[in-house]
Structure 1
Amino acid sequence: MSSTTPGTRPRVRAPELVGRGWLNTGGETIRVGDLRGRFVLLDFWTFCCINCLHVLDELRETEERFASELVVVGVHSPKFVHEADPDALAAAVERYGVAHPVLDDPDLVTWQAYTARAWPTLVLIDPEGYVVAQYAGEGHAHAISALLDDLVPQHREKGTLQPGDSPYVPPAVEPSDLRFPAKAVPVSRGDVEGVLVADAGHDEVVLLAAGSGGDDGAVLRRFAGFREPNGLCVLPEDVAAEVGYDVVVADTVAHRLVGLSLGTGETRVLAGDGEQWMQGDGVERLSSPWDVAWWGDRVWVAMAGVHQLWTLDPRTGVVEVAAGTTNEGLLDGPLAEAWFAQTSGLAADGERLWLADSETSSLRVVEPGPAGDLVVRTVVGSGLFDFGFRDGDVDQALLQHPLGVTVLPDGSVAVADTYNGAVRRHDPATGTLGTLASGLAEPSGAFVDGTDLVVVESTAHRLTRVRLDADVVATDGFSHTTQRPVTEVAAGLALTVTFTPPPGQKVDDRFGPPSQLLVESTPPGLIRSGGGRGTDLVRTIELDPHVGDGVLHVAARAASCDAHGGEGAACRMHQQDWGVPIRVVDGAPATLTLPLGGTD
């Protein structure tokens, strides 16, 4: 149903919220009509997605500021099979501190009703139940706040705004020594000996007694002052003595690298100013560093938020981008040209650095190439939307969102296959993948302790021992491709990314083009012409009908600045990557519009 005022576009009535059930409501079902009289912001997310996690954080200030006028509703529309598990979703809602109602949308019914095409997507509904704005990607919290600053007084004057309490009901949480631990490493430094754990759910790094891994992990000490830490790197003793700290912590949500002295408990910020890196920023800002590892003569950093590998030299403090273009995907080759996808686990082995790329469900390696320069090679994995649980030859094997890698004493590599609840074992000598253990609760990291592999079971809030001499099992398992609606398009396609500056801001091109658009495809041959990078948000693309099916990879960004200009004027970056499944069909629409942000 729509309503029209002469001279305006039709107003679209917000579709109903339909799904399997609700979280954070005390068991109550919420309908769009129940929220009439308040603004509603729908946040379409999936808990694997780092961009979605960024949006959860950036919306918190808006939620608090408009607590009486605005209800935020998370709509969880999963990418991976594991994310459709209701228990896994409940754990994720707790893990990431989601303090608003969440609709469980496992079949993407509400996702399709609102024509979402990307994680995350934000949709603003006014107090009369009409859609007034839609945004894709990160960086829109200020735009939503500015829009509400305009619309709240209008609806208050009309009498359509009826402020009220949120329907949010916090879940009960059972206390535990560890809460959603992420990684763990053994430490022996001076008088300090034990197992160091990145205890993300408690925002702490925890020292457990030596030999921990099971129910014997007595807590010796807690180091506070972090925000969801994930990775831990124990520096070589000579380096630690020189720089004055022992451990580098990937302080993920704080967007920092932190040095921790085990003896004194003192911490120091090594990199990052606490603000998230956005396009145009330098290395003084980071974006969700997820893991850290010592390789060569420095610390390597899995910069999950921007799909790159960075390095930190502890001796000089120099931070550099080492690999990746910030494009999300699976592309091998020289470090500067490679594409990564939310790298979440690192492990060094001589001349090689193993890594787990979670969003492409892949095991990859950085190693010397034929010319001696470092290159990236994919061992297991094929792309952003293909995953599963299959052993055998690596070219047929499948993983599901792995978060950790560990080099084993025999030269093989253990993979924390997180969403399959398993530890997989890759043998480089035979080129095969097998299963070492299964039935685990979101394993996210591991370390070797004698004849055992100590595994971090994140959603079981514990460390668990797995025998390294256990038989490696081979299974056919399953394969899966993320099922999202396929868009039928004509071979000659006009692509438009729409963007409207927030109220009070304007597009400012005084210092160069304010926007950028990158278009690629999988397979690469799908695009005959019109691919590549440019500054216009409108692009004509010629597709090959003989290729037929594929995915358009579209990355867009646009900058807006305060309209008044002058000293103190603020500029903002809006950015999003889309992976749009398409099929070339005669007679299909010759246009494709993707909303980066703006009002309807």
Structure 2
Amino acid sequence: MFTSHVTSQTRGRVRAAELVGRGWLNTGGKTLHLGDFRGKVLLLDFWTFCCVNCLHVLDELRPLEAEFADVLVTVGVHSPKFVHEADADALAAAVERYGVHHPVLDDPDLTTWQAFAVKAWPTLVVIDPDGYVVHVAAGEGHVEALRRVITEVVAEHEAKGTLHRGDGPYVPPVPADTDLRFPAKAIETGTGTLLVADTTHHRVVELDGDDIVRVFGTGERGRQDGDKATFSEPSGLTLLPAHVAEEVGYHVVVADTVNHLLRGINLDTDVVTTVAGTGDQWLAGETDGQATKIDLTSPWDVAWWEPAGGVVVAMAGNHTLGRFDPVAGEVSRFAGTTVEGLMDGAPTEAFFAQTSGFAATADRLWLADSETSALRWIDAEDFAVHTAVGKGLFAFGHRDGHADQALLQHPLGVAVLDDGTVAIADTYNGAVRRYDPATGQVSTLVTGIAEPSGIVVRGSELIVVASAAHRLERHTAAALHVDGEAHEVRRPPSDIAPGELELVVVFAPQNGQKLDDRYGPSTRLEVTSSPPELLVEGAGVGTDLTRRLVVAPDIPEGVLHVVAQAASCDDDGSEHAACHLTRQDWGVPVRVTAAGSSRLPLMLGGLDSSP
């Protein structure tokens, strides 16, 4: 039994834990403590900068922070997944890159994460002005629920006299000035120049050598079309074949990531048009149809691939691949199920994990699958998905050798070299790696690059997008061999008992809302496991947010993949009440032990009041 009503929730008087970490960002050097937020509504956002869902939440929270500016303080608690994310300088760069305009606690040892019993990125925790937890939610789509919780807390504490209005502790950092700012990808134009996604400047630029000779976009964040266009953190780029470009009236497709759009650039007129997406983020619903009427979700890279008959789109936001047909003006699901993970096979059954880079050849589409630290490929004959390098969501490192032992760390880019081998922008290792399909060997070509995210090949020269160095670098590859360490995600596993396990996804609509069952079940729960043998019973799709699982006694550890969603609408009696979809994907590492729990609660929205 649980409830989301604030007054009921606070009866348990669960006091928030102290905020403990290595240091603070965006505070002007000041160290903050929980007591410093007394009298304010405090929203903790547990995030990590590799996580696209966390980036979505950063954008979702911006209007909420503006609306409650004098009573609400957001604190980002950065609890890293990858080793690179635990680097203080890398975190500082990410805070700037993603425009984080609130204080950030650096929590590299997951101290505060564990104190709040967090199990997923992102997780949001609301703390009232007296220092008590009143609401917990995981995943995206919680803005309306948070608005209601905050409104209730403000009203209650204003009446009690315990609410303090005024500015929060945010101190903006000094902005840097460079020609490029966190560029993401680059492609050749065919005329000797390069097009570069100048991501944090919200524009696309044309480079001739090191000189900017043309700019597409004003530099302001937005989604305006025309010759004074605006973008929002553009990333991937692909050049259309000449005959296609002539027919559709634009030459380049841009993955306009934060806008959830594909944009077209006409290189003759400098005009930008929106060619796919609505500007809204896909959470559920149609994936196929007229391109400008279907929601997209964080398109990260794009590649024209002739066997697919169009542009393949890395839908990083829901771990799928889309297909965009520029001539027909249609988009469709190309591969993936929306479950985050590493599973090969038919395109309709394969799992992906935040695909972030493409390289197309006549017979293969190579993929950088960042969250599984994997290099993967799709066969042109049957579109079957294969993994060349990578072991899953929780294993990574920098190790050369045969592909079955080699390790990457969150790669974002890929390119095919003239000899048929594959260059990998191994982003969080700061390296360019090479995979040889003929021998299965992985080697290191270049090291010491600040977050490489894209590669252009010109003969023996590699032009590498060094994103965190804000420039393009030119390298001549020289093979190295690195016997690096293997790492695993340090997130502590949940101890569960073998046999029957009650999985409970905790969710309740806020006051003034109700579950929306007008068109069928309002909730959905999908459960799978890695390895599949971990679950004897209970895997599959259903509508109940509580599920009886049976855990195998002879599998010592694994991962439970849980995807839950719930639809709720305003309960105002109107025919067209506003509705909201809440969704979260969990990859929960578990350890099977006789002393483990027979109940596993996951917070989708509310508080778990069960014992």
TM-score (norm 2): 0.94
Identify if the C-alpha distance between structure 1 residues 518 and 399 changes in structure 2 by more than 3 Å, giving closer, same or farther.
Answer: same
1:577 CA displacement: 1.2
In structure 2, the gaps of 5 or more residues are: 1-6, 219-229, 289-293
8 A contact 2:400–2:442 mirrored in 1 = yes
Q: Structure 1 stretch 561-570 or stretch 292-301: which is displaced more?
A: 561-570
For residue 479 of structure 2, the aligned residue among 465, 469, 472 is 472
Partner Cα distance (2:207, 2:107) in 1: 39
In structure 1, the gaps of 5 or more residues are: none
Aligned position for 2:207: 208
Deviations 1:511-539 (A, max 9, x none): 11111111111111111111111110011
Identify if the C-alpha distance between structure 1 residues 458 and 268 changes in structure 2 by more than 3 Å, giving closer, same or farther.
Answer: same
Secondary structure at the counterpart of residue 501 of structure 1:
coil
1:560 aligns to 2:572 (yes or no) = no
Partner Cα distance (1:243, 1:510) in 2: 41
Output the amino acid matched with 1:196: L
Aligned position for 2:582: 574
1:236 CA displacement: 1.2
Secondary structure at the counterpart of residue 150 of structure 1:
helix
Secondary structure at the counterpart of residue 495 of structure 2:
strand
1:508 CA displacement: 2.0
Aligned position for 2:239: 234
For residue 392 of structure 2, the aligned residue among 371, 376, 383 is 383
Output the amino acid matched with 1:244: G
Output the amino acid matched with 1:480: H
8 A contact 1:208–1:221 mirrored in 2 = no
8 A contact 1:498–1:594 mirrored in 2 = yes
Q: Structure 1 stretch 112-121 or stretch 443-452: which is displaced more?
A: 443-452
Output the amino acid matched with 2:214: L
Partner Cα distance (2:78, 2:597) in 1: 29
Q: How does 1:115-154 map to 2 (within 5 A)?
A: 115-154=117-156
Aligned position for 1:417: 426
Aligned position for 1:365: 377
Partner Cα distance (1:11, 1:268) in 2: 53
1:78 aligns to 2:80 (yes or no) = yes
Secondary structure at the counterpart of residue 554 of structure 1:
strand
Output the amino acid matched with 1:293: A
1:458 CA displacement: 0.1
1:220 aligns to 2:180 (yes or no) = no
1:220 CA displacement: 3.4
Output the amino acid matched with 2:302: V
8 A contact 2:41–2:153 mirrored in 1 = no
Output the amino acid matched with 1:289: P
Partner Cα distance (1:493, 1:9) in 2: 28
1:251 CA displacement: 0.1
1:271 aligns to 2:276 (yes or no) = yes
Deviations 1:283-313 (A, max 9, x none): 4100000000010131111110011111111
Secondary structure at the counterpart of residue 53 of structure 2:
helix
1:217 CA displacement: 3.1
Aligned position for 2:68: 66
Aligned position for 2:97: 95
Deviations 1:418-468 (A, max 9, x none): 00000001111111111010000000001112331100000000000111x
Identify if the C-alpha distance between structure 1 residues 6 and 200 changes in structure 2 by more than 3 Å, giving closer, same or farther.
Answer: closer
Q: Structure 1 stretch 427-436 or stretch 583-592: which is displaced more?
A: 583-592
Secondary structure at the counterpart of residue 43 of structure 1:
strand
1:8 CA displacement: 7.3
Output the amino acid matched with 1:60: R
Identify if the C-alpha distance between structure 1 residues 426 and 506 changes in structure 2 by more than 3 Å, giving closer, same or farther.
Answer: same
8 A contact 2:48–2:81 mirrored in 1 = yes
Output the amino acid matched with 1:471: A
Deviations 1:303-345 (A, max 9, x none): 1001111111111111111000000000000001100000000
Aligned position for 1:245: 250
Partner Cα distance (2:96, 2:394) in 1: 26
Output the amino acid matched with 1:71: V
Secondary structure at the counterpart of residue 114 of structure 2:
helix
Aligned position for 2:410: 401
1:288 aligns to 2:298 (yes or no) = yes
Output the amino acid matched with 1:279: A
1:354 aligns to 2:382 (yes or no) = no
1:9 CA displacement: 4.2
Identify if the C-alpha distance between structure 1 residues 352 and 127 changes in structure 2 by more than 3 Å, giving closer, same or farther.
Answer: same
Q: How does 1:403-552 map to 2 (within 5 A)?
A: 403-467=412-476, 470-491=477-498, 492-552=500-560
Output the amino acid matched with 1:303: M
For residue 321 of structure 2, the aligned residue among 306, 309, 317 is 309
Aligned position for 1:588: 596
Identify if the C-alpha distance between structure 1 residues 8 and 374 changes in structure 2 by more than 3 Å, giving closer, same or farther.
Answer: closer
8 A contact 1:150–1:503 mirrored in 2 = no
Secondary structure at the counterpart of residue 249 of structure 1:
strand
Output the amino acid matched with 1:304: A
Q: How many residues align?
A: 584
Partner Cα distance (1:7, 1:53) in 2: 28
Partner Cα distance (1:514, 1:537) in 2: 10
1:262 CA displacement: 1.3
8 A contact 1:177–1:219 mirrored in 2 = no
Partner Cα distance (2:355, 2:8) in 1: 51
Secondary structure at the counterpart of residue 269 of structure 2:
coil
1:257 aligns to 2:262 (yes or no) = yes
Output the amino acid matched with 2:462: L
Partner Cα distance (2:551, 2:573) in 1: 42
1:324 aligns to 2:333 (yes or no) = no
1:578 CA displacement: 1.2
1:408 CA displacement: 1.0
Secondary structure at the counterpart of residue 100 of structure 1:
coil
Partner Cα distance (1:15, 1:563) in 2: 34
8 A contact 2:287–2:331 mirrored in 1 = no
Output the amino acid matched with 2:256: D
Secondary structure at the counterpart of residue 90 of structure 2:
helix
Identify if the C-alpha distance between structure 1 residues 169 and 249 changes in structure 2 by more than 3 Å, giving closer, same or farther.
Answer: same
1:198 aligns to 2:210 (yes or no) = no
Secondary structure at the counterpart of residue 305 of structure 1:
coil
Q: Structure 1 stretch 454-463 or stretch 498-507: which is displaced more?
A: 498-507
Secondary structure at the counterpart of residue 181 of structure 1:
coil
Output the amino acid matched with 2:592: V
Partner Cα distance (2:494, 2:75) in 1: 27
Identify if the C-alpha distance between structure 1 residues 6 and 252 changes in structure 2 by more than 3 Å, giving closer, same or farther.
Answer: closer
Partner Cα distance (2:373, 2:99) in 1: 25
Output the amino acid matched with 1:461: H
1:6 CA displacement: 11
Partner Cα distance (2:497, 2:461) in 1: 56
Output the amino acid matched with 2:206: L
8 A contact 2:341–2:393 mirrored in 1 = yes
Partner Cα distance (1:144, 1:433) in 2: 47
Output the amino acid matched with 2:12: P
8 A contact 2:187–2:194 mirrored in 1 = yes
Output the amino acid matched with 2:52: I
Partner Cα distance (1:153, 1:321) in 2: 45
Partner Cα distance (2:240, 2:362) in 1: 16
8 A contact 1:39–1:69 mirrored in 2 = yes
TM-score (norm 1): 0.95
1:551 CA displacement: 1.4
RMSD: 1.5
Secondary structure at the counterpart of residue 506 of structure 2:
strand
Secondary structure at the counterpart of residue 54 of structure 2:
helix
1:281 CA displacement: 4.2
Partner Cα distance (2:11, 2:68) in 1: 27
Secondary structure at the counterpart of residue 12 of structure 1:
coil
Identify if the C-alpha distance between structure 1 residues 245 and 179 changes in structure 2 by more than 3 Å, giving closer, same or farther.
Answer: same
Identify if the C-alpha distance between structure 1 residues 69 and 281 changes in structure 2 by more than 3 Å, giving closer, same or farther.
Answer: farther
8 A contact 1:257–1:269 mirrored in 2 = yes
